[in-house]
Structure 1
């Protein structure tokens, strides 16, 4: 357990103090920190220790918990397109927490994406947090602590996980995945401490997303919006959404083959809804990540124009960044204003029903800001 949190001093001190022989675990924890910091691994290892305590075969109980097949471990993920639904926690967590454990002394509930709970879901969970059964332990995970309702935060013990440094992320990409050094350095810097994003940027569709974001940013910098750079980002988002929906459909179909006819038909109907949600999540996440990369390109142009090229994130495309800094008539203040417009668009993406219109409008705003 402790080796999982060895590089996270705060998490190490709190979780080690909760374990036997001297420790007494809290009823609820809130693991917070950037994506890829190790919260999921730590939650599974912590749950394994809690469920192994008092077991007739602790090693077996620990192994099953780590494998995710222990009957007293419940792992919940958001099923909504952009939020956790009430149904995600009502029976799996709130209802199940009232029932005694199957075989262990405890029941452990891990809730990923706790920041995506809407008010209704959060308020339902609140009662369980306020009056938990003595055998129930909840572990909430979030990448965005600021989005957790204060009423939830105040009833959990906060456990902080640190972001990996760019050097650590780069080394991980090179040694574990064989990513070339310069590409690994760029992906690590562009990930802003998010290990999952660093991996996504370095492999698979990551280079394509980077190219798409770069074209979008440079089209605004050089007044080339006739190329309609937003269309390529939308196409990439749709393709990723299709892949996510297909994966859900295939999983539902495989599961349905093992069910009686009536339940199989119900599972397939529910699977259609789940596929649409998966498509929407992947689609929205791709656009958000693409916009983040657009902003980082403009930011790199700004710091280069300011005479600090050593601070850029796109270290593998330093020549292109330098060329943009030299050729653009925009001042560094205008470039920073443009970065602000991108961040505003990322925030508004959740509320805007027309992504194509929003992306096209943003490109026009960027051009006007950058070209005066």
Structure 2
């Protein structure tokens, strides 16, 4: 059983109870084990995590529960203490860039290396970053940083980030519906009652895929904002070899004297805080607008002190 976050990257407590806690009480019908994988486990609300505690502490011998998390520190201590931690190292940037090149993805080596670095070893995210939607998000992130630095916020670039995320969600939903419809046709289940059921299931799966892709794209956009701030800090500190956006190195070079490295790093913390708040259904446009204004206040304040 594989459980992935729904909607605004949250695991619903009823879903955790029904699909994991209740199901874990029954012996497998076939095979010797029942395996439950909770993807993005840190997206579970406290109520969901607390509901899972007894199952984690005293699972049946045939049950294995795997919690996948990129930020395990966001899990409750009571959950972490009941788990055995297994760390996976991300792929290095050269390996990811090489995979993109072998598939003919990316405009040039510089873009592929930048995508690999920005993806932190995640091939799927690197592939997204060299797609049309990914390039748009990178452009919007750079525009948001430029607006925060200049103080010219009239163009409201954060709205473009929302539009780009919406576009990514729409494409993912349409592709899912098309794929499932094709599979139903190949199986001869595209007519009559079976066809209507297959169509409903495809539409539901499409909506789920659209929501998830939209959330992932928005989170990726915020991650790109944090990456730009990190690059500003790196250039200001004279550490250009640490820059992530290597294909656009001239852009952070234009501002090192105007940007305080500590302020840029603090800006990255503000971005990460916004990413976390968006997982609990905070108004997206207001959260992004507030973030860019706070970044402007932070960066302009550091320049005035300098």
Q: Pick the TM interval, shorter chain.
A: 0.7 to 0.9
TM-score, normalisation: structure 1: 0.67
Deviation of 1:261 after TM superposition, in Å, equals 5.3
3-state SS of 1:157 partner:
coil
Measure, in 1, the Cα distance between the counterparts of 2:242 and 2:286. 33
Aligned to 2:222: 291
- Matched positions, count: 296
| Structure 2 counterparts to residues 274-285 of structure 1, below 5 A | 278-285=209-216
Structure 1 residues 354 and 136 mapped into 2: Cα distance closer, same or farther (>3 Å)?
closer
Aligned to 1:346: 275
Measure, in 2, the Cα distance between the counterparts of 1:371 and 1:120. 41
Which deviates more, 312-321 or 75-84? Answer: 75-84
3-state SS of 2:137 partner:
helix
Listed as ranges, the gaps of 5+ residues in structure 1 are 1-73
Q: Does 1:239 align with 2:167?
A: yes
3-state SS of 2:249 partner:
helix
Aligned to 1:330: 259
Deviation of 1:224 after TM superposition, in Å, equals 2.7
Asked whether the 8 Å contact 1:84–1:121 carries over to 2, the reply is yes
Aligned to 1:364: 293
Aligned to 2:100: 173
Aligned partner of 1:211 among 114, 139, 149: 139
Structure 1 residues 133 and 345 mapped into 2: Cα distance closer, same or farther (>3 Å)?
closer
Aligned to 1:305: 236
TM-score, normalisation: structure 2: 0.79
Structure 1 residues 339 and 107 mapped into 2: Cα distance closer, same or farther (>3 Å)?
closer
Asked whether the 8 Å contact 1:79–1:88 carries over to 2, the reply is no
* Bigger Rg, which one: 1
Asked whether the 8 Å contact 1:81–1:277 carries over to 2, the reply is no
Structure 1 residues 371 and 138 mapped into 2: Cα distance closer, same or farther (>3 Å)?
closer
Measure, in 1, the Cα distance between the counterparts of 2:275 and 2:76. 21
Q: CA RMSD in A?
A: 3.4
Aligned to 2:11: 84
Listed as ranges, the gaps of 5+ residues in structure 2 are 302-306
Provide, for residues 123-143 of structure 1, a one-character-per-residue CA deviation record: whole Å limited to 9, x for no partner: 443333333333233333222
